Amino acid sequence: MPGPDGTMQVAPAVPAALYVHFPFCARRCHYCDFAVSRSERPPVEEWLAVVEVELGWWFAAGGWEPGSSLDTVYVGGGTPSLLGADGMRGLRDVLAGKLDLSSVREWNAEANPVSFSAALAEAWAESGVNRVSLGVQSFDDRVLSWLGRSHTAARAAEAVREARRGGIRRFNLDIMFGLPDTVGRDLPAELERVAALQPPHLSLYGLSVEPGTLLARRIARGVQPGPDPEKYADEFVRIAEYLTTAGYEHYEVSNFCLPGEESLHNQSYWNRSACLGLGPSSHGFHPPSRCWNLRNWPAWRDSVMGGHGPLEGHEVVGAEDSRLEKVWLGLRTRNGVDSGILEASHQETLSRFESAGWIRRSEGRVRPTARGWLRLDSIVAELNSAGSPPAAPSGSRET
């Protein structure tokens, strides 16, 4: 395949998991460092045309035969709800030109409550979308204003009801935690509002200060305080305990679901399954190669349309890094890892972690507790004696 240095390997068959990145947002939130371009009227048709060319490029590079089936599709962003009804139908048609969509078990699309509606949910369902991830972040108007979100708490709750009215029963809510005390958040009251809506799935995001964001600049100027690590840890444990008591399964470090409502697509990342990424900044995994596209929308568009392909770079994951990834990704989930893949010399370390309440050992597996998940990177680094673990595979926000 024509990768940056000629060594990129493409999966021998079309990966069963597909991620598509729609890079446009009407505005940028204060904390956001995602690959987005601001546009209230995004160039949907142009974006679709480039996605179609990129998909063809991958088929040519991999020597894939048309008609291969997909298992999961995830449309992330950005704000995919700005695609509207026609844009999602257009994406379906672009994908159907090369792929068999009849066996897709999960087609997820992200949405902002402001640009979502029951009519859009119904149109998306007709196009094949059967799961929506709503970027709610909070059910407190003070918090939403502080984060720079464009919706209100009432609008977020209505978006949940609209998803159901539009025929999309499976959905996820993104919820943020670990905000400074000065925001004045009433977390117990928010958790009650969340539970009352009975979402099938929830994803937690601890506030992080990313370089170059408005939030980072305000903190640097002393305009507002940064997050408190102790509060971050305390809120994570409190939320986990509340949700599990309410009947949710804490099945991955950041994700909770009612029984049977796990994210199918994201499990491909945690299982290190092959994944194809389309769109600017998207990542793909073609074992043993991991690749990433050009981040900037114009740069990605021009490279693809100029016949140079979408890639910015790639790496071949070696045997030791692969083993480390398996440990780290396995410990992100409730299934944990087989204790047999951990070196016997780490038994003393595991006992220490267990005594501290960070892991549980049973049935030949090692599983982190909620408090252990807060220390996941350091746990894995110590178990492997190889420094910090690699970055998480990119893709949807639920990862």
CA dist., res. 248 & res. 228, Å (int) = 27
Asked if 169 and 146 count as a contact pair (C-beta separation under 8 A), the reply is no
- What pLDDT is recorded for position 343? 67
When the pLDDT of each residue in the chain is averaged and rounded to a whole number, the result is 90
- What pLDDT is recorded for position 386? 36
- What pLDDT is recorded for position 6? 53
- What pLDDT is recorded for position 148? 87
Locate the domains of the chain by residue range: 17-270, 319-384
| The pLDDT of residue 210 is above 70 | yes
Residue with tokens 């910090």: 388
- What pLDDT is recorded for position 7? 61
- What pLDDT is recorded for position 36? 76
Indicate the DSSP class of residue 258: S
- What pLDDT is recorded for position 86? 98
Residue 358: how many CA atoms within 13 Å on its side-chain side?
18
Vertex 207 angle, CA 270 and 392, to 5°: 20
**Percentage with pLDDT > 90 across the chain:** 71
Question: What pLDDT band is residue 395 in, cutting at 50, 70 and 90?
Answer: very low
Q: What is the mean pLDDT of residues 7-12?
A: 83
Vertex 132 angle, CA 81 and 254, to 5°: 115
Question: What pLDDT band is residue 388 in, cutting at 50, 70 and 90?
Answer: very low
* pTM listed for this prediction: 0.91
C-alpha to C-alpha distances, 247 to 163, 173, 193, 372, nearest whole angstrom: 22, 16, 15, 21
Q: What is the mean pLDDT of residues 358-380?
A: 92
Backbone φ, ψ for residue 392 (5° rounding): -70, 145
| The pLDDT of residue 230 is above 50 | yes
Q: Which amino acid type is present at position 292?
A: W
Of residues 63 and 384, more confidence is placed in: 63
Q: What is the mean pLDDT of residues 107-113?
A: 97
Domain 319-384 has CATH 1.10.1760: no
- Measured N-to-C along each axis, helices 153-165 and 187-197 cross at an angle, to the nearest 10 degrees, of 20
Asked if 377 and 362 count as a contact pair (C-beta separation under 8 A), the reply is no
pLDDT in tens, 163-179: 999 999 999 999 999 99
Question: What pLDDT band is residue 398 in, cutting at 50, 70 and 90?
Answer: low
Ranking 130-134, 187-191, 395-399 by mean pLDDT, the lowest is: 395-399
Asked if 111 and 159 count as a contact pair (C-beta separation under 8 A), the reply is yes
Asked if 311 and 283 count as a contact pair (C-beta separation under 8 A), the reply is no
| The pLDDT of residue 127 is above 50 | yes
Question: What pLDDT band is residue 391 in, cutting at 50, 70 and 90?
Answer: very low
| The pLDDT of residue 367 is above 50 | yes
Fold for 17-270, please state it. TIM Barrel (3.20.20)
Question: What pLDDT band is residue 209 in, cutting at 50, 70 and 90?
Answer: confident
Token duo for residue 378: 């350091």
Question: What pLDDT band is residue 385 in, cutting at 50, 70 and 90?
Answer: low
Vertex 123 angle, CA 120 and 124, to 5°: 85
Q: What is the mean pLDDT of residues 70-76?
A: 98
**Percentage with pLDDT > 70 across the chain:** 93
Asked, colleague to colleague, whether 17-270 and 319-384 share their fold, the answer is no
CA dist., res. 139 & res. 193, Å (int) = 7
- What pLDDT is recorded for position 4? 43
Of residues 232 and 92, more confidence is placed in: 92
283, β-bridge pairs: 292
User: What is Dmax (Cα atoms) for the chain?
Assistant: 58
Q: What is the mean pLDDT of residues 365-369?
A: 93
pLDDT in tens, 247-285: 999 999 999 999 999 999 999 999 999 999 999 999 999
pLDDT in tens, 291-311: 999 999 999 999 999 999 999
| The pLDDT of residue 81 is above 70 | yes
